[in-house]
Amino acid sequence: MANRSVRVLGAAAFVAVFPVALLHFVGGQTVAIDGWIHFVGVALGAGVATGSAVALTVAGARLRDGHAVLVGCAFSVMAALLCLHGLATPGVLVGTNGVVSFTGAATLPVGGAILALGVVPALRRPAAVGPLLWLLAGGVVLILVLGLAAIAEPGLVPRGPEPRSLLAWLVLAAGTGFYAVLVWRAARTFRLTRRWSDILVALGIVWLAVALAAALLLDSRQLGWWLGHVFQVIGIAIVGIPVALDLRRGAARSRPLLGDLRGADLVAEEEAFLGSHVRALLVDLADKDTYTEEHTRRVALRAVQVGDELGLAAERLRDLALGGLLHDIGKLSIPDEILKRPGPLSQREFELVEEHPERGKRLLRELGGFSENVLRLVHDHHERLDGSGYPQGLGRSELDLDTRILSACDVYDALRSRRVYRAAWTHEEAMRLLRGSAGTIFDARSVDALERVLARERDDQLAIAV
């Protein structure tokens, strides 16, 4: 797993540096390229942006997702500005004008600014969908009308900033700031999901930032200015396509441009974020025993919530989600007549049930694709600080924080669940047992964090009820 991550990040670094290196080494070369090439190339970019805009806007409207519609707005505005940029190409349909330079300088900063607005919570809500759609329609029409008027009357629109002027540097700084926020969001999402599509979005944003630099610092006589148009088309495509595919799959909160993905989302949509192989294992577990599968989901949710509360890194939250979802996967090999028996087990049968951590670890190792941290969580979730757990009787010094978190959450959910042979414990009873054993059997920090998470949840439920 570690080697694969290194290879992915190495390849990503190469792709990110490539356009920068290309501009540095050949961007300053003088070229003479016909205006028709610009006209056709920009038309291609506008087509890509339009396709992305339509896909994102339609998907967002269907899901009542304000953020998806906002992303669609960004691509729609970029598409409208690109259309004007292409139409205003001097020597094709019109003569010399300021629209071509103005739109060329404005497309990427404006698009980046709109995308960065995704951080505003009010714009993500379902109630924002209608107003955003109206603003989108009005904005695109306004841009096109004013742009066409400016083409007809060139004096209506000032020229864009001169290359390398103070204004050009200021616009570049602002646009780069917007794109830096977006790269940070996408990178954070990738740390949780480890999906190629999320790192691809980050790379697309880098290419858009490089295209912005080419548009503001170079002119049409330099090769780099033309390369910037290519980077722009590629950047729009590799940002828009993965985001649209996520929405198509229904993973509404997976979008890396939003950047607020949490560990709980990994548990809720494990197939989208953790892979179809995890989903398949959980389906097998549900077929084997519905209670066990539902229990693992609840435990995984509590574990990532506690991990979040304790400030664990994104990579550890991902492992906690996987370890929580699969911690009882070894029970797949326990006979049904033992696993589902409503009455007491014999000593030999109980010993067989206690083998499920080792069986689970062995199964996941044979399947491959799981980190040592996940395997350890599956194997050690029944261990206790005082050495009274199983299967190895490990003690305090041998149990890391992640395992301690999973252990406390596992016990809490088991106590709170109704079984054929006993009634479910109340929240107060379960927490009383955990608090009474905190520091000796269970980790005190984990118990305290679990109590805070549950208290907030109960307060939220009470507020909704009131």
pLDDT reported for residue 207: 95
Residue with tokens 């009542």: 64
Residue partners of 233: CB distance under 8 A and separation at least 6: 41, 44, 45, 48
Q: Residue 387: which region, alpha, beta or left (left: phi > 0; alpha: psi -120 to 50)? A: left
Q: Residue 360: which region, alpha, beta or left (left: phi > 0; alpha: psi -120 to 50)? A: alpha
pLDDT reported for residue 193: 87
**Which range (99-103, 179-183, 303-307) has the least confidence?**
99-103
Given a contact cutoff of 8 angstroms between Cβ atoms, the answer to whether 349 and 340 are in contact is no
Given a contact cutoff of 8 angstroms between Cβ atoms, the answer to whether 238 and 15 are in contact is no
442 phi, psi to nearest 5 deg? -115, 155
**Which range (241-245, 294-298, 343-347, 383-387) has the least confidence?**
241-245
What is the full DSSP assignment across 251-302? -TT--TTT----HHHHHHTHHHHH-HHHHHHHHHHHHH-HHHHHHHHHHHHH
Q: How far apart are CA 253 and CA 251, in angstroms?
A: 6
Q: How far apart are CA 360 and CA 333, in angstroms?
A: 9
pLDDT reported for residue 195: 86
Q: Is 222 helix (H, G, I), strand (E, B) or coil?
A: strand
**Which range (75-84, 151-160, 271-280) has the least confidence?**
151-160
Question: Which one-letter DSSP state was computed for residue 21?
Answer: H
Question: What Cα–Cα distance (Å) separates residue 417 from each residue in 297, 343, 385, 404, 421?
Answer: 13, 16, 24, 20, 11
pLDDT reported for residue 465: 47
Q: What is the pTM of this model?
A: 0.80
Instruction: Spell out the domain ranges in the chain.
Output: 2-249, 263-465
Tell whether the model's pLDDT for residue 377 goes beyond 70.
yes
Residue partners of 406: CB distance under 8 A and separation at least 6: 299, 303, 320, 323, 324, 327, 377, 381
Tell whether the model's pLDDT for residue 460 goes beyond 70.
no
% pLDDT > 70, the chain: 94
Average pLDDT of the chain?
A: 87
% pLDDT > 90, the chain: 47
Residue partners of 252: CB distance under 8 A and separation at least 6: 63, 65, 68, 246
Question: CATH second-level architecture of 263-465?
Answer: Orthogonal Bundle (1.10)
221 phi, psi to nearest 5 deg? -85, -5
Tell whether the model's pLDDT for residue 426 goes beyond 70.
yes
- pLDDT tens digits for 1-22? 556 667 778 888 999 999 999 9
pLDDT reported for residue 41: 80
Cα Rg of the chain, angstroms: 28
- pLDDT tens digits for 218-233? 988 999 999 998 898 8
Tell whether the model's pLDDT for residue 420 goes beyond 50.
yes
Strand partners, 422: 419
pLDDT reported for residue 2: 57
Given a contact cutoff of 8 angstroms between Cβ atoms, the answer to whether 443 and 408 are in contact is yes
Class of domain 2-249: mainly alpha
Amino acid at 57: T
- pLDDT tens digits for 42-63? 877 777 777 777 777 877 787 7
Length reported for the chain: 466
Question: What Cα–Cα distance (Å) separates residue 202 from each residue in 16, 105, 205, 267?
Answer: 9, 22, 5, 24
pLDDT reported for residue 225: 92
Tell whether the model's pLDDT for residue 318 goes beyond 80.
yes
Mean pLDDT of 310-338: 95
**pLDDT bucket at 466, cuts 50 / 70 / 90:** very low
Q: Would you state the structure tokens that stand for residue 119, as one six-digit string?
A: 């951080």
Mean pLDDT of 237-262: 70
Question: What Cα–Cα distance (Å) separates residue 446 from each residue in 230, 307, 399, 439?
Answer: 51, 8, 13, 10
**pLDDT bucket at 464, cuts 50 / 70 / 90:** very low
- SS3 letters across 301-327: HHHHHHHHHCCCCHHHHHHHHHHHHHC
Amino acid at 328: D
422 phi, psi to nearest 5 deg? -160, 155
Question: Which one-letter DSSP state was computed for residue 100?
Answer: H
Q: How far apart are CA 60 and CA 75, in angstroms?
A: 13
243 phi, psi to nearest 5 deg? -65, -40
pLDDT reported for residue 461: 62
**Which range (251-260, 283-292, 401-410, 414-423) has the least confidence?**
251-260
